[in-house]
Homo-oligomer: A and B are copies of this chain.
Amino acid sequence: MARKSASGRIGIADVAVKAGVSHATVSRVMNGNFTVDPDIAARVRAAAAELKYQPNPVGRSLALGKTDTIGIVVPDLANPTFQAILRGLSRAAAQDGYRVLIADSFEVSSEESILAGEARRRCDGLVLCAPRMSDAELEEIAPSLHPLVLINRTTSAPNVPGLVVDYGQGVQDIAGHLVELGHTRLAFLAGPPRSASNEMRLKGLETFRAAHPEVEVTMLEGGSDFDTGHEAVDAVLQSGATGILAFNDLVAMGLMSGLHERGLDIPGDISVTGFDDIPFARYTTPALTTAAVPITELGEQAWHQLRALIRKEENETPGSRYQPRLEVRASTGPAKAPRSTVHG
């Protein structure tokens, strides 16, 4: 009879009893070890099937020293970028039989390293998206998190590949596109101050400024979401710029929404660009000119790098750099005759 073990769940012991063999033999059969007599193996399999036995993964994990699970730490699960990374990661990992444990830090970066540590201990490896964590802290915790893959960051700790999007090049491409359209007054609606990707954008803009001294580039404070863009309308108009580089698509959409409310025409009066090319970018009105980042692929690659690390293929952990692709849509157009600043 299906004798339940104490826990109430069917365990390897129950199968062993039913098949009249030892635990060890059941384990061997379940793991495809061929040093078992075919007759006995069949008996074991029959018993397992009849009892609907399913090995307990926790026991397995303890014995094998691996969990077949990886973790991902994201600062905000509501952000389409991290959703896309998660999606790519999850899909790729699933193909190799791995699952994904998520840890949302909700932007509280003080908790990030603790969270990362906890997640890591439950998993075989970790993907870390922590754009606001200081370099020092990152470098300090990185070794204890190995195998570890970084998104949009790098660190000097050894064997920690970083998958980074070349945001610097991306903003230069966008700025160049606006200049080609005749814009000479641009404004950058910046992202969160400490964000690593924001700093890359700023560096890119510096390079751009150096190459185009004739173009005026105003820096405006911002953030990373809809509301940020929406609230920035006044600042944008006051800047007198005719070409606006928003930190990302979300901000751009918020900004466009605000500009529409003011009765302005895009791109007639003002051109707006985003960054990321989230799925909705092509469906805004007007469709948003942006820099497309192969973000789902990034998640996929994160898994491949992590897998190499888990398998101890330590030969190469190069990290990689992704080039955004300029996606020209309807939100950018020729500059009108230069507008003057709203006041002064």
Which of chain B's residues has its CB closest to A103's CB?
B99
Residues of B within 8 A of A104 (CB): 87, 90-91, 94
Q: Is the CB of A90 within 8 A of B69?
A: no
Given known contacts A101-B100, A226-B279, A254-B283, A90 and B62 CB-to-CB distance under 8 angstroms: no
Task: List 23 A-B pairs, Cβ < 8 Å.
Answer: A52-B144, A54-B121, A56-B121, A57-B118, A57-B122, A58-B122, A62-B62, A69-B101, A77-B83, A77-B87, A77-B91, A86-B102, A87-B104, A90-B102, A94-B106, A99-B101, A99-B119, A99-B122, A100-B102, A226-B283, A253-B280, A284-B284, A284-B285
| Complex Cα–Cα for A7 and B285 (A) | 57
Q: Is the CB of A99 within 8 A of B99?
A: no
A61 within 8 A of B: yes
Residues of B within 8 A of A61 (CB): 58
- Which A-B residue pairs are the 10 nearest by beta carbons? A285-B285, A77-B87, A58-B61, A57-B122, A58-B62, A280-B280, A101-B101, A90-B104, A253-B283, A62-B62
What DSSP secondary structure best describes chain A's contact surface?
helix
Which of chain B's residues has its CB closest to A102's CB?
B100
Give residues of chain A (213-271) contacting chain B, Cβ–Cβ below 8 Å: 226, 253-254, 257, 260
Give residues of chain A (91-117) contacting chain B, Cβ–Cβ below 8 Å: 91, 94, 99-104, 106, 117
A32 within 8 A of B: no
